[in-house]
Structure 1
Amino acid sequence: MEYYVLTLWCECTVEYSHIHCCALLLLKTPVKARKTTLKISIVTISFNQADYLKKCIDSVLSQHFNDLEYIVVDPGSTDGSREIIESYGDRLIKVFEKDTGAADGLNKGFSRATGDIFGFINSDDELLPEALEKVAEAFRTNTQTSVISGCGYFVDASGAFIKSITPSKFTAWRYAYGAVSVFQQGTFFRSEWFRKVGGFNTENRTCWDGELFLEMALAGASFNTMGEDLAIFRLHDASITGSGRLNELYARDADRLFRSALKRPRSERDRYIAILARLRKWLLEPSWLIRRIARLR
């Protein structure tokens, strides 16, 4: 279908409150219709998290969003997780394949995805009600934005509130100095950027999400934030992020990504720059403090 634009061409001057228009032109110029509907693909990686898995899946499937594609990846759980996944029938896409780790599992999931917008939620985390409609509207409104991060909060194993999470705008420089808050559960991105950077680095076992966003930033993706709560991040004894066993691996990955972002190794001087960069973050983006105070009221 062709759409035509009626254009008013004016040479306007304001004299004693009179506006003089010189010509009216009808241009038969076809205009490409703006896409008003967006398909969202969500991937969940599941491995022996049966205690939280049903809550996670229900939080996605209960979204009041019509064009949703949900993919759940399980490489071989033995705690009843697969039976939980199977119970949802064709309401989700199941990927039961062995993988080499979380990043590889996510790549397997997204290789099946056909959406315009991608997001991923861990099997022990949850989306909040209406999250996907808010995400879709944000991308419809911000047509040039590649990646959007929303807010959320940490909860404990029982679901009790711990603290709020407010993301900061992502740049490669900020990420290199640890001066950006990355809330993966509340971050969504256009599918073409995922494919452009080749997906997740399967060798990264600690911060595959941060590396993905860094690669997008280095490739020219535009990042934005939104003030809506989109998801919850559960901390418990068995969670990957909540454990201390990966600290050494994380330090190695952080040094490698620093070199990738700034094209040089980290120096002693960078320790002080990192402190200043984080201080700058708190001074210029005080929303984290405002949200924390608001929750105390």
Structure 2
Amino acid sequence: MPPNYPLVSIIITCFNYELFISECIESALQQDYPNLEIIVVDDGSKDGSWDIIQQYRDQVTCVRQQNRGALRSSLTGFRLSNGDFVHFLDADDLLVPGALQQIAPHLRPDVSKVPFMLSPIDRDGQVIGDPFPKLAQSIESGPLIQSINQRGYYNTPPTSGNIYRRDIYENLGDLSYERAIDGVPYLLAPFLGKVVSLDVPLGKYRIHNANLSSFSTLSSDRLNGYIDRFMARLRHLAQLIDERGIKGKIRLRQDYAYVREMTILSTVASGKRPALRLLASYISAVRREHRALRTCMSLAFALGLFVLPNLGRRQLASFRLDPSRFWRVRSRLKHAASVGT
């Protein structure tokens, strides 16, 4: 293969997604990229997913395992892969035609990660909002490292919107705290190479009842789990930086705006009104980490959680955690603004 076409491994993990798995596999097979392998791991599906997957056994590597969760099925696929770059594609998501050809010029040894935007679609494949997250065309990792130090994260797409250089996933160590495959790798990538962000939607992210279940139940335990994983990833990142002798350190804090927000939502989930001191700490963290518009929005959100009755607080908190509602609202506001100009 020409040097600008390194081997790319698309790893598709599936659990009970018989409605979507065929379309997902087809979106990978239809890529006009000349050096590609596709691995599909069925994580013990109880529906007809495995029967559908086996129909592609002459074109892709098909593996079935007992149900062990998304992380372990992704690791199974990674162990079976040989790609210089890897792409974890959720079974309900899609790649758009020609996506890998657009990404190909950036698959270089000095590039650790290529994130791209995703178009949110509904169960039937209809677009329900603007492409997200908003990415600026960039080849720099410095601002991302700065964001990690400031906020504990940087703006990145969900799993299906990223291609990683293989070594980012090697020798990660203990991931027992994790549920997803790309929790600490997305944080590690800027320290190990250039992150080339593409400001075009090259994939589709499906919103449906199954994957919204994690947002539908406002649970204190669930929200505290978000906090625990957030902090565990940062501690793990600091460990990997030290073990690999990478230049640069990260400063761990306990008062990230994300942690404060999840603490507030956990308080609401337990049926309590957040204390003014906690809300003030949250606003202070947002002011430190974000610009004025975000601070104003967060202030309105915090005030709502304080003044509303219990039912209203829970509804507002649920709205905050539901991405499909946010995308629809953003799209409507954008449309209204364009009509008014």
TM-score, normalising length: structure 1: 0.73
Bigger share in strand:
1
How do residues 254-273 of structure 1 correspond to structure 2 at under 5 angstroms? Answer: 254-260=230-236, 262-267=250-255, 272-273=284-285
Structure 2: any 5+ residue segments left out of the alignment? 239-249, 261-280, 295-326
- Find 1:237's aligned residue among 186, 209, 212: 209
Paired letter, 1:237: N
Paired letter, 1:130: G
Name the residue aligned to 2:177. Answer: 203
How do residues 46-85 of structure 1 correspond to structure 2 at under 5 angstroms? Answer: 46-85=14-53
Change (3 A) 1:105 1:49: same
2:244 is the alignment partner of 1:278: no
Q: Quick check: 2:111–2:194 contact (8 Å CA) kept in 1?
A: yes
Change (3 A) 1:125 1:175: farther
Paired letter, 1:86: Q
Name the residue aligned to 1:153. Answer: 119
2:107 is the alignment partner of 1:139: yes
SS at 1:152 equivalent: strand
SS at 1:63 equivalent: coil
Paired letter, 2:3: K
Paired letter, 1:215: L
Aligned mates of 1:193, 1:280 — CA distance in 2: 35
Name the residue aligned to 1:252. Answer: 228
Paired letter, 1:73: V
SS at 1:37 equivalent: coil
SS at 1:78 equivalent: coil
How many residues align? The count is 254
Change (3 A) 1:186 1:156: same
**Residue 49 (structure 1) shift:** 0.8
Aligned mates of 1:251, 1:118 — CA distance in 2: 28
Paired letter, 1:47: F
SS at 1:124 equivalent: coil
Q: Quick check: 1:157–1:235 contact (8 Å CA) kept in 2?
A: yes
**Residue 58 (structure 1) shift:** 0.8
Q: Deviations over 1:85-129 (max 9, x none)?
A: 001122111121125321111111010111111111101110111
Name the residue aligned to 2:161. Answer: 186
SS at 2:100 equivalent: helix
After superposition, the CA RMSD in angstroms is: 3.3
Q: Deviations over 1:146-170 (max 9, x none)?
A: 1111112111222222221134667
Q: Percent identity?
A: 24
2:89 is the alignment partner of 1:113: no
**Residue 270 (structure 1) shift:** 7.4
- Structure with the greater alpha carbon radius of gyration: 1
Paired letter, 2:115: S
2:128 is the alignment partner of 1:171: no
**Residue 229 (structure 1) shift:** 1.7
Paired letter, 2:11: V
Change (3 A) 1:275 1:107: farther
**Residue 174 (structure 1) shift:** 2.3
Change (3 A) 1:257 1:193: closer
Q: Deviations over 1:234-261 (max 9, x none)?
A: 1111016753444332222123334455
Name the residue aligned to 2:98. Answer: 130
Aligned mates of 1:172, 1:202 — CA distance in 2: 25
Q: Deviations over 1:206-243 (max 9, x none)?
A: x542322113345x343220122210111111016753
**Residue 181 (structure 1) shift:** 2.3
Aligned mates of 1:204, 1:216 — CA distance in 2: 17
Q: Quick check: 1:193–1:221 contact (8 Å CA) kept in 2?
A: no
SS at 1:121 equivalent: strand
SS at 2:74 equivalent: helix
Q: Quick check: 1:126–1:233 contact (8 Å CA) kept in 2?
A: yes
Q: Quick check: 1:72–1:94 contact (8 Å CA) kept in 2?
A: yes
Paired letter, 1:250: Y
Q: Quick check: 1:42–1:121 contact (8 Å CA) kept in 2?
A: yes
Paired letter, 2:225: L
Change (3 A) 1:258 1:202: closer
Aligned mates of 1:130, 1:116 — CA distance in 2: 19
Aligned mates of 2:181, 2:118 — CA distance in 1: 20
SS at 1:214 equivalent: helix
Bigger share in helix:
2
SS at 1:74 equivalent: strand
Structure 1: any 5+ residue segments left out of the alignment? 1-33, 283-287
**Residue 293 (structure 1) shift:** 5.5
Q: Quick check: 1:179–1:281 contact (8 Å CA) kept in 2?
A: no
SS at 2:252 equivalent: coil
